[in-house]
Every structure is written in C-alpha cells, then in structure tokens.
C-alpha cells in the first residue's frame, strides 16, 4: 500500500503544482489562452463544473458536492479493495494514478467550485474544443490500468 500512496501523493502534488503554475503564475486565469506549440499544445483556461467533456456541468452547489462525494466514495472503494486483494505492481501503480488524480480534482472543487483545466491539444486538422489537466490524464490512465491489470493478478487475502 505504501507504493500506492506514494504514487497518489506524487500525482496529487504534480497536479496541484501544474495548476498553480499555469493558472496563477502564468496568469492563464486572466489571459484565457497561451499558445505553446500550436496546434499540438496550447493552454486554454476552462473551469470544469462537471466531469470529462463537460458532462453534468451544472454550476450548482448540489452538483459540486455530489461530484466531490462520488470521487471520495470511489477513492474509498479503491483503497478498501486494495486492502482486501493482493494485486500486482501494475494494478498498484494504476490505483495510485487514479487516487492521486481524483483527489487533485476534489481539492479544486472544494477550493474553487470547479476543476481547473488548461491543457489543450489538437492535431491533423482536428480542433479539440476541450481542455484537461494532469489529474484527468492520471484518472484516465489509472482507470484503464485497473481495467486491464486488476483482474488478472487479484487474489483474495485469506
């Protein structure tokens, strides 16, 4: 479990530090957009009140706290599952990625009422209208990793 929590802590710090640096230090919150390597990498400020791709994006306190509760419930479920199952290294890494990212976005919702998204990538004539952050990448990678690596090496503790 120490590996899981170390990975989660590292992702959480990386996520929060990147948000602070880009949103506040580079002043993206006021500039709205910074072209880094167009069209492949741009910084576009977006406050996400919902989940991925703006789903459930109602700007209401009820939605905000419901999404916080769901994220914390998922984190709690993953931690309990980890305590009960013996999983391999790839599943532990995946769980750490998911936990760190989810908690990073929870902190945003508590502090700002929404998640600070700023990374925008487009390619090959396709313009991506969505922004995301380090936590989103981590959550996605962790969930995919758990889908692929959790079942194959999970065993119940006796």
* Active-site hit among 35, 59, 136, 153: 136
The answer to whether residue 136 is catalytic is yes
Rounded Cα distance between 105 and 111, Å, is 10
Q: Which of 112, 114, 106, 111 is nearest to 131 (CA)?
A: 114
Q: Are 85 and 155 in contact (CB under 8 A)?
A: yes
**Stretch (H or E) spanning 110:** helix 89-112
The answer to whether residue 153 is catalytic is no
DSSP single-letter state for residue 127:
P
Length of the chain: 158
Q: Are 115 and 132 in contact (CB under 8 A)?
A: no
* Active-site hit among 15, 59, 108, 117: 117
Q: Are 89 and 7 in contact (CB under 8 A)?
A: no
Catalytic residues: 117, 136
């Amino acid at each position: 479990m120490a590996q899981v929590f170390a990975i989660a802590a590292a992702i959480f710090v990386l996520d929060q530090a990147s948000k602070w640096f880009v949103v506040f230090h580079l002043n993206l919150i006021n500039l709205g957009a910074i072209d880094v390597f167009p069209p492949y990498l741009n910084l576009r400020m977006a406050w996400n009140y919902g989940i991925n791709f703006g789903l459930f994006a109602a700007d209401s306190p009820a939605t905000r706290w419901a999404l916080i509760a769901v994220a914390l419930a998922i984190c709690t479920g993953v931690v309990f599952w980890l305590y009960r199952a013996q999983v391999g290294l790839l599943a532990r890494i995946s769980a750490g990625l998911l936990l760190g990212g989810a908690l990073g976005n929870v902190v945003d919702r508590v502090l700002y009422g929404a998640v600070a998204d700023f990374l925008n990538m487009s390619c090959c004539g396709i313009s991506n209208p969505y922004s995301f952050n380090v936590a989103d990448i981590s959550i996605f990678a962790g969930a995919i990793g758990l889908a692929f690596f959790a079942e194959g090496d999970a065993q119940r503790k006796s």
